[in-house]
Chain A
Amino acid sequence: MKPSMPTPSAPPPPIIEVENARISFGAVKALDGVTLQIMPGECVGLVGHNGAGKSTIVNVINGGLTPDEGGVSANGNAIDAYGINVARAHGVRCVFQELSLCPNLTVVENARIVHRDLGGAGWRGRARRIIEESLDAVFPGHGIDSGETVGALSIAERQMVEIAMAFSDAGTAPRLVILDEPTSSLDASLAKQMLAHVRRFVAAGGAVIFISHILHEILATADRIVVMKDGRIVAERPAGGFTAHSLFETMGSVAKGEAARRESRDLASAPLVLEQAGSGLPFTARKGEIVGLAGLSGHGQTEMLMKLHAQRSGNWWPRHDPAVAFVAGDRRLNGVFELWSILKNLSIASLSDLSRQGFVNDEAEEGRGEDWKKRIDIRTRAMENPILSLSGGNQQKVLFARALSTRAPVVLMDDPMRGVDVGTKQEVYRIVRDEAAAGRTFVWYSTEMEEVCLCDRVYVFREGVIVAELAGGDVNEANILAASFQGAAA
């Protein structure tokens, strides 16, 4: 690995060096042997698709995660117990993707939280001076009152405060600032101000790790670009060595065979079952169609599913004929009833079909349970076992069965395959295809390229709106990536 600018005689030690870091969460390898050096005076652009390991490496550098293998050194010295406080003492600061200020505190009080060594009488004055100096430096003419509660600021203002907070200096000067999607809520002129400040900071000897989905920002700002994929660094070059096109090509996978492709079906004559207009392209779905929602995670796909669900379900009273079923992505949060049996978890959505005069017909319920147990192969001895006795993949199958056993003609799926093993995935793909052939409509949000490519038609989301519609042969990884990353089409 070489630093961006070769310096004559005794190059300065890297601010932070991560060596061969490996981290696994269960079976998922989040980092698979990553080595990364951050030199003083450089801005490193970090790009990659969902789950490529960007956030994980950021968390290793800021001390929030300890790698299972490998180590971190700062200023050329290996550090054994690298943690949040050690990282901060070495001047590592981080602006997180999700806003991480306390919304109930004022800007000044948040500065107090961020800078631990600010205490003592009169800290308010000092904190105010520090944060206002930094805000003035990064965003001249910002107009933010530092006595205001953060919750009362607009999203853009909060982001500005957070960025200024990372660049502020209260004793320990910032040396490495990590910016994770910092411009996502800033308008163009504010983003420009911030990027200009990044260049000033780097010119003064600081270092910046810059993560963004807007590729031309990265290309224009970074000195060196690191591309990650599946927990590995797959390319690392000076920014001049990349174009927008070559960048997203590097991010994508090596062209996979089209083995798992579905045969394209002609659905143009099928009746429309869903319609939703938005500020981007309108959303439509036909009977029997599998519609994919793609794009980087958190760009409005779940909101679209919620909107579709709200549009098709009763407001106060449950409808007798369910029009739509929902398969949740976060099982723990809004999927399973943890204390219930497998059978109860399965039948809850279709109880009205299984009951007579308000009483559940036990036999019908059991019959349906056995039927689905066979159809999708839920691996358990008895459906009366608690749901948590199943593996994650089988729990997910129960959730699928819950949705499919209703009479709802539309099934919405919110990235339901996260953390599911390959075998189960194949089974579910088969079920989805069969059900679609039988006339059900599926709207499928997935963060996995392979699944999106199974869909008949795909909408790509960016910043809350649909920016592209791909159908038939156009549904492939390169097209989806190109649409998810702004500035890539040029």
Chain B
Amino acid sequence: MNLRPSSDTIRLIVPALSLASLLAAVFWLQPRAMSYIGLNLLFNLAVPIALATIAQMLIMAVNNLDLSMGAFVSFVACVAATFLYDSPLLGVPILVAAVAAYALLGVVIHLRNLPSIVVTLGMSFIWTGLAVLLLPAPGGHAPEWARWLMTAKPPLMPMAIVASILIALLAHFIVMRSSFGVLVRGVGGNERSVERAGWSALAARAGAYGLAGAFAVAAGIALVGLTTSADANIALRYTLLSIAGVILGGGEFVGGRVSPIGAVIGALTLTLAGSFLSFLRISPDWQIGAQGAILIIVLALRLFLNRIENRERRR
């Protein structure tokens, strides 16, 4: 065994370092954030984003991209705030059907060889339309258990941190350790050789989409648990946040290179970047631009490290 860190570990260094330095900067600006409640406030909105990022990562693992993530999470939030609260017997099948619809999308995209970007862009209007039908105006109620789950106060660490760690570990187990995860990433890496070994790339892609749907459903429920009510546009920005989170966490658009732990860290970093800018008293007008600047800096850093890695390999 050699002591050189594996390339996966190197991939995690940039996201981990950016999160750490951003956190240090926040603590320096606002020492009171360094507490149980402070940390929970900083990070609790990160939980649904982390779940959506994992969902996006699964789609990206098979070389596709999901532009309907935000619309779908909004739709799920609306279902959770209405049917799941009023009549769970109807709400649960709706959500199960939504997951099945995701798996079906994977099948259609694979069989017809359609560009996933176009298909999911179209789907985003369908999900938004359904969400508006359910909740034309903001409203609804969070199911008791979702509310309880998101506001629980575990000892030692705030819920936001515990949940993020659990999500990261679960996703790591599924994507990086299980046979299914290997197959999904294999399809992203070299679809032909997976098929040559006698696997069904169709099943792998459908599975990846279905699992992504399940994580996105969890994201919607977690979001309602936090906000107590829903609205048809509640999570629209999740589409881009989830993509940015995956990339920030060391994932790539093609080639099946993804990192679940990195994706969760990426989601946390994105959430924290917003708070950091507020603490800096940057006017909200400039915040989105500044958030973009942070993204560009981190991504440039990664590109730089990739280049060094490649240069070493060539030697």
Are A102 and B194 also in contact (CB < 8 A) when A109-B186, A147-B6, A148-B6 are? yes
Q: Are B190 and A100 in contact, CB atoms less than 8 angstroms apart?
A: yes
Could you say which residues of chain A place their CB within 8 Å of the CB of B190?
100-103
B183 sits at the interface (CB 8 A): yes
B256 sits at the interface (CB 8 A): yes
Q: Are A102 and B198 in contact, CB atoms less than 8 angstroms apart?
A: no
Q: How distant is the Cα of A104 from the Cα of B196 in the complex, in angstroms? A: 17
Q: How distant is the Cα of A123 from the Cα of B178 in the complex, in angstroms? A: 9
Are A109 and B182 also in contact (CB < 8 A) when A101-B190, A102-B189, A152-B313 are? yes
Q: Are B185 and A105 in contact, CB atoms less than 8 angstroms apart?
A: yes
A56 sits at the interface (CB 8 A): no
Q: Are B197 and A116 in contact, CB atoms less than 8 angstroms apart?
A: yes
Q: Name the residue in A94, A114, A154 with the highest tally of chain B Cβ atoms < 10 Å from its Cβ.
A: A114
Could you say which residues of chain A place their CB within 8 Å of the CB of B179?
112, 118-119, 123
A145 sits at the interface (CB 8 A): yes
Q: How many A-B residue pairs have CB under 8 A?
A: 72
Q: How distant is the Cα of A88 from the Cα of B198 in the complex, in angstroms? A: 8
Could you say which residues of chain B place their CB within 8 Å of the CB of A100?
190, 192-193, 196
Q: How distant is the Cα of A83 from the Cα of B281 in the complex, in angstroms? A: 65
Q: How distant is the Cα of A104 from the Cα of B1 in the complex, in angstroms? A: 20
Could you say which residues of chain A place their CB within 8 Å of the CB of B257?
104
Could you say which residues of chain A place their CB within 8 Å of the CB of B113?
none
A84 sits at the interface (CB 8 A): yes
Q: Are B194 and A113 in contact, CB atoms less than 8 angstroms apart?
A: yes
Are A113 and B313 also in contact (CB < 8 A) when A88-B198, A100-B196, A102-B193 are? no
A37 sits at the interface (CB 8 A): no
Q: Name the residue in A102, A109, A152 with the highest tally of chain B Cβ atoms < 10 Å from its Cβ.
A: A102
Q: Are A104 and B6 in contact, CB atoms less than 8 angstroms apart?
A: no
Q: Name the residue in A109, A112, A148, A151 with the highest tally of chain B Cβ atoms < 10 Å from its Cβ.
A: A109
Which residues of chain B (1-59) have a CB below 8 Å from chain A?
Answer: 1-2, 6-8
Instruction: Bin the interface of chain B by size.
Output: 20 to 34
B255 sits at the interface (CB 8 A): yes
Q: B284 to chain A: closest CB distance in Å?
A: 40
Q: A256 to chain B: closest CB distance in Å?
A: 37
Q: Are A104 and B255 in contact, CB atoms less than 8 angstroms apart?
A: yes
Are A84 and B196 also in contact (CB < 8 A) when A113-B182, A145-B2 are? yes
B199 sits at the interface (CB 8 A): yes
Q: How distant is the Cα of A24 from the Cα of B289 in the complex, in angstroms? A: 58
Could you say which residues of chain A place their CB within 8 Å of the CB of B6?
147-149
Which residues of chain A (126-147) have a CB below 8 Å from chain B?
Answer: 145, 147
- Per-residue CB contact flags for chain B residues 154-197 toward chain A (1 = under 8 Å, else 0) read 00000000000000000000000101001101101110111111
Q: Are A104 and B198 in contact, CB atoms less than 8 angstroms apart?
A: no
Q: How distant is the Cα of A16 from the Cα of B182 in the complex, in angstroms? A: 31
Q: How distant is the Cα of A101 from the Cα of B196 in the complex, in angstroms? A: 11
Q: Are A104 and B256 in contact, CB atoms less than 8 angstroms apart?
A: yes
Q: How distant is the Cα of A94 from the Cα of B2 in the complex, in angstroms? A: 31
A64 sits at the interface (CB 8 A): yes
A311 sits at the interface (CB 8 A): no
Could you say which residues of chain B place their CB within 8 Å of the CB of A85?
198
Q: Are B198 and A84 in contact, CB atoms less than 8 angstroms apart?
A: yes
Q: How distant is the Cα of A148 from the Cα of B5 in the complex, in angstroms? A: 10
Q: B187 to chain A: closest CB distance in Å?
A: 9
Could you say which residues of chain B place their CB within 8 Å of the CB of A102?
185-186, 189-190, 193-194, 256
Could you say which residues of chain A place their CB within 8 Å of the CB of B194?
102, 113
- Per-residue CB contact flags for chain B residues 248-284 toward chain A (1 = under 8 Å, else 0) read 0000000111000000000000000000000000000
Could you say which residues of chain B place their CB within 8 Å of the CB of A105?
182, 185-186, 189, 256
Could you say which residues of chain A place their CB within 8 Å of the CB of B1?
145
Are A114 and B197 also in contact (CB < 8 A) when A102-B189, A102-B190 are? yes
Could you say which residues of chain A place their CB within 8 Å of the CB of B192?
100
Could you say which residues of chain B place their CB within 8 Å of the CB of A113?
182-183, 186, 193-194, 197, 199
Q: How distant is the Cα of A130 from the Cα of B304 in the complex, in angstroms? A: 37
Are A104 and B189 also in contact (CB < 8 A) when A84-B198, A109-B182, A113-B183 are? yes
Could you say which residues of chain B place their CB within 8 Å of the CB of A101?
190, 193
- Per-residue CB contact flags for chain A residues 88-111 toward chain B (1 = under 8 Å, else 0) read 100000101000111111000110
Which chain B residue lies CB-closest to A64? Answer: B196
Could you say which residues of chain B place their CB within 8 Å of the CB of A114?
197
Could you say which residues of chain A place their CB within 8 Å of the CB of B177?
124
Q: How distant is the Cα of A105 from the Cα of B189 in the complex, in angstroms? A: 8
Which chain A residue lies CB-closest to B181? Answer: A109
Q: A405 to chain B: closest CB distance in Å?
A: 34
Are A103 and B255 also in contact (CB < 8 A) when A113-B183, A119-B179, A145-B1 are? yes
Q: How distant is the Cα of A85 from the Cα of B200 in the complex, in angstroms? A: 11
Which chain A residue lies CB-closest to B2? Answer: A145
- Per-residue CB contact flags for chain A residues 143-180 toward chain B (1 = under 8 Å, else 0) read 00101110110100000000000000000000000000
Q: A266 to chain B: closest CB distance in Å?
A: 45
Q: Which of B7, B183, B185, B188 contacts A152 (CB 8 A)?
A: B7
Q: How distant is the Cα of A36 from the Cα of B20 in the complex, in angstroms? A: 64
Could you say which residues of chain B place their CB within 8 Å of the CB of A96?
196
Q: B238 to chain A: closest CB distance in Å?
A: 26
Could you say which residues of chain A place their CB within 8 Å of the CB of B7?
148-149, 151-152
Q: How distant is the Cα of A109 from the Cα of B176 in the complex, in angstroms? A: 10
Q: How distant is the Cα of A327 from the Cα of B199 in the complex, in angstroms? A: 39
Q: How distant is the Cα of A149 from the Cα of B176 in the complex, in angstroms? A: 12
Which chain A residue lies CB-closest to B314? Answer: A154
Could you say which residues of chain B place their CB within 8 Å of the CB of A84?
195-198
Q: A65 to chain B: closest CB distance in Å?
A: 12
Could you say which residues of chain B place their CB within 8 Å of the CB of A124?
177
Could you say which residues of chain B place their CB within 8 Å of the CB of A103?
189-190, 255
Partner-B contacts on A (CB < 8 A): 62, 64, 84-85, 88, 94, 96, 100-105, 109-110, 112-116, 118-119, 123-124, 145, 147-149, 151-152, 154
Q: List 9 additional A-B contacts (Cβ < 8 Å) besides A113-B197, A149-B8, A152-B313.
A: A100-B196, A101-B190, A104-B185, A104-B257, A105-B256, A112-B182, A113-B194, A145-B2, A148-B7
Partner-A contacts on B (CB < 8 A): 1-2, 6-8, 177, 179, 182-183, 185-186, 188-190, 192-199, 255-257, 313
- Can you sample 26 A-B contacts with CB below 8 Å? A84-B196, A84-B197, A88-B197, A88-B198, A96-B196, A100-B190, A100-B192, A100-B193, A102-B185, A102-B193, A103-B190, A103-B255, A104-B256, A105-B182, A105-B185, A105-B186, A109-B182, A109-B185, A112-B179, A113-B183, A113-B197, A116-B199, A119-B179, A148-B6, A152-B313, A154-B313
